[in-house]
Structure formats: C-alpha cells, structure tokens
Amino acid sequence: MNQIPGIYIRQSLLVLLIAALFGILFWNLRFFLPALLGAYTLYMLLRGVLQYLTSRWKWRVKPASALLILLSLVAILLPLNWLFGMLRERLVGLFQNSDHLLQNAQQLIHKLEIQYGVTLMTPENVQNLSEWGAGQVQGIVGATVSGLGILITAYIILWFMLTENENMEHSFFTWLPLKDENVEYVRKRLNDMVYSNALGIPLMGIVQGFAALLVYWLAGVEDPWFWFAVTFFSGMLPIIGVALAYVPLSLMLLADGQEWKAILIFVYGFTVVGSVDNIARMWLLKKIGHAHPLVTLFGVIVGLKLFGFIGFIFGPILISLFILLLKIYHKEFN
C-alpha cells in the first residue's frame, strides 16, 4: 500500500493552518481592506517622487514622506470640500424652490401623458421612486462618512509604506510564492493597474467636464461649475457616462420652459462630449493604458458602496486586482 510522503502531509497541514489564521485575521480586519488598497494606490503614485527627493535632492525619507502625504491630502480634500460646498448650496436652493420645480415637473409629465397616452404619475410609482431615492442617498452618505475614516487609516498605512518603501517592496516580492518571471509580471501589472485607474479614470472626467463646461457657459446655465462637477463624476463612468449630467439638466431646463437651451445642451452632449469621450479613451490607451469599460462600470458601483465618493477610483482598482490574481493563477499553474 502506497503511503503519502510525510513532507506532503506537513506541507498540507501548514497551508491549512496559514489559511485558517488568514481567514480569522481577514474577517476581523476587513474594514482595513479599502484603506490598504487606497494606501497602496497613493504609494504607487508617490513612489517615484519620493525616490527623486531622496536620491536627487538628498532629502531624508521621513521629511520627504511627510511632505508628500501633506500635499496629497490637500489635493484630495480640497476638491471634495469644493464639491460638498456646491452640493450644499444647490440642495438649499432646491428646497427653497421645490414648489416651483415640482409644479413644472408635473406639468411636463401631464403633457407627456396626454401626448403618448401613458400613465406615469401613479401613487405607486411616486412612492417607489421616493423610497429608492432615499435609500440610495442614505447609502451613499453612509459610505462617504465611513470613507473618511478609511482615508485616515489609509494615510497611517501610507506613512509606513513610504518610510519603509525599499524593505517593504523587497519583502513583498520575495515572499510571493511565484516563479521569478511571474513576480516581474505582477510588479509591472500592479504599476499599470494603478496608473490606468488612479490617473486614467479621473482624467476622463476632467476632459469631458471642461468640454461640457463650454456649452453650460454659452447657454447661460445657472451655476455652471456645479454641473461641471456633476459631468466630471459622471464622465468617469463608461457606457452611460456624461448622459447622467446633460440629460437631467436638459429635462430640468425643459420643465422650466427653456426649450432652446435644453435642446442645445442635449445635442451638444450627445454629439460633442460623446466624441470627446471616445477620442480621450483612445489617447489614454496609447499613453498610460485604460481599464476595460465594464471593469470601470462595475468597479464604480462596488466602490461607491464600499468607499463612498472615493470609490470612483478604488472600486475599479479592486476589480482589476481580482482579474490580475486570476491571470497570475493561470500563468503559474497552467
């Protein structure tokens, strides 16, 4: 009777023990997974600058790390503070003019019902829409509040990553249970993944936001910078993208009786901004790479629920990391 070699038994038991301990640690520290992901993303973006400061300008590691953390924190919090300030002003204005907007919306819906012979404003539809909107807003606000805690934790982890960058990278890639060629593949793909998502996705939103800002200004839209922010965030979504900005704006203008502005913004958004989206994505593919549209779409959905507003960046990175692990498994064991 053949016996199983003792080394295989010891190896299997050790793997089971490691997996069990990892499962316990992961379950109890799962809150820190988004923070770890965010810290790694920021580390990859700041790593080159840190090496430049320490090697070229002979800065010490800790002062250079502290400066980069401060600058990156300002770069993240200032746009968020600007966005929340505009949202607060906009919501106050909507509440003050809610009766007027509701009356115009009811008139528009009534016209559509008469013209097309359909019933839109049923009590069930209104109640379902209200409940859905309240649930979505509550979920996003809750995730955003927790996202601030995740951001603070991410910067604590980032400090140790920056100050111990060489030892950390050496330990991480040395302990990876992969072949040498696959370790290099992981190193390269991780860099490409971070740059394509952390830089490519926001850049798409910025390009489309400024393209749409032109027509907002020419049409005399009230508070064009607010709609620029809406276009910026919706522009980071593939497939539907900026339609989430110019379609609601066109409907609001149409309900307010400004038909020519509504038509102008809708046609401009559908033709010009849509073309800018395609051209910018082709440019990104050549320059820094770009995530697949479905990866970005599903990543944003997951990211918003996990991280709040910063999920626009970290969500697609999380899905890209999952796909990378599948590729590594295929290369290692195929």
Q: How far apart are CA 285 and CA 276, in angstroms?
A: 14
The answer to whether 250 and 262 have CB atoms below 8 angstroms apart is: yes
Give tens-digit pLDDT for 16-47.
998 999 899 888 887 787 788 888 888 988 99
Nearest alpha-carbon partner for 101 in 266, 251, 221, 234: 251
Query: In the block, which residue shows the tokens 């490691």?
Result: 18
Give tens-digit pLDDT for 45-62.
899 899 999 998 889 999
The answer to whether 300 and 236 have CB atoms below 8 angstroms apart is: yes
Phi, psi dihedrals of residue 323, rounded to the nearest 5°:
-65, -35
Give tens-digit pLDDT for 117-129.
666 666 566 566 6
Please report, for the chain, the start and end positions of each structural domain, with discontinuous segments joined by +. 32-199+288-333
Burial of 21 (0-12, 13-18, 19+ CB in 10 A): exposed
Query: In the block, which residue shows the tokens 């066109």?
Result: 250
pLDDT (mean) for 174-202: 81
| pLDDT of 263 over the 70 cut | yes
pLDDT (mean) for 63-85: 86
Q: Residue 97 to residues 6, 121, 247: CA-CA distances in angstroms?
A: 77, 21, 21
Model confidence at 155, pLDDT cuts 50, 70, 90, reads very high
Q: 117: alpha, beta or left, given left = phi > 0 and alpha = psi -120 to 50?
A: left
